[in-house]
Amino acid sequence: MPTELFGEYDVVVVGGGVSGCAAAIASARAGANTILIERFGILGGIMNVSGPPGWAYSHLWNNHGETIIAGIGLSDTVFGMTILAFLVSVEELARELPAALKGRPEISFGNVAGSIMAFFLFNAGIIALINPITVNSEVLGFYLPLCFGTVIAVSLFMMTKNISRLAGGTLVVLYLIFVIVGYIR
């Protein structure tokens, strides 16, 4: 049953997932009169919808993933850094694209930058706390230098205060190089 809301708000955040909660908290801390609207009536977003199936899929993948990866002929590192990362990114892109299409690309780009920081810092930190990570020579020799180069490229684009279509194309080409060379190696 719909709930009617009355009042004046500086910021309306739609969606009580992790990003929506973070946006609402940041907005309120900045002094804006903020309201958070969540259609499911509980915070957590997609984790409340796909949490148990996602957890089951994760266990299925961990039990049979090695067979699948071996059948494709990829190392665990290449699989995780290309196919698995791409699948996670598609979901993220589906959330970011509407803002860009409505002329608010800074929201989308902010979400990209924030997600990268969450993946690098939070996710890697939790994984290392649970099971320390051994960094192999494949990562040190190719992926890590490419990550550094990509961070430098994105930072240089951001310093221009306008990330153009050409810069966007450059980023997509860098990603394709990353995927293709990762498979060839």
Q: What mean pLDDT is predicted for residues 92-119?
A: 74
Q: Is the pLDDT of residue 176 over 60?
A: yes
Work out the pLDDT band at 47, boundaries 50, 70, 90: low
Domain ranges of the chain: 74-133, 135-185
Q: Is the pLDDT of residue 172 over 80?
A: yes
**Residue 20, CB-side half-sphere exposure with 13 Å CA sphere:** 18
Rounded to the nearest 5 degrees, what angle is found at the Cα of 184, between the Cα atoms of 80 and 93?
Answer: 40
pLDDT at 111: 73
Distance CA 24, CA 10 (A): 11
Residue pLDDT, tens place only, 78-105: 777 776 677 666 666 766 777 777 777 7
Residue 154: how many CB atoms within 10 A of its CB?
19
Distance CA 54, CA 69 (A): 19
- pTM equals 0.52
